[in-house]
């Protein structure tokens, strides 16, 4: 999938806001605030449910990595997430531990 198309599909889901469960949360992490080398995708099936988590990383910025963004779109499709939340910005990689 084209990187721009994948990013637009994710952004469209995020723009809808919280609509209930199942929910997917996306958070980016990196050593610098403008360069994300890791993304954490959490899936929560129901309120109070235990989150399932998948971490993806790259030596390049994961926000511009076509493969990783396509994987995130596939996760959204597979989980049939009603809500998609994205943490703004890039958090310190130490917070990802």
Q: Which CATH number fits domain 3-84: 3.50.50, 3.30.160, 3.30.420, 1.10.286?
A: 3.30.160
pTM: 0.91
Nearest to 46 by CA among 86, 83, 16: 83
> Residue ranges of the chain with pLDDT lower than 50?
none
Beta pairing class for 23-30 and 83-92: parallel
For residues 30 and 38, give the distance between their C-alpha atoms in angstroms, rounded to a whole number: 6
CA distances from 13 to 8, 43, 57, 93 (A): 9, 14, 22, 25
| Per-residue pLDDT, 59 | 93
């Amino acid at each position: 999938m084209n990187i721009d198309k994948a990013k637009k599909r994710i952004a469209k889901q995020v723009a809808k806001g919280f609509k209930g469960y199942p929910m997917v949360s996306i958070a980016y992490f990196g050593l610098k605030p403008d360069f994300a080398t890791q993304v954490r995708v959490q899936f929560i099936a129901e309120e109070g449910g235990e989150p399932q988590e998948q971490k993806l990383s790259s030596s390049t910025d994961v926000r511009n990595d076509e493969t990783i963004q396509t994987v995130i779109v596939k996760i959204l499709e597979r989980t049939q997430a009603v809500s998609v939340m994205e943490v703004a910005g890039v958090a310190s990689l130490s917070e990802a531990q």
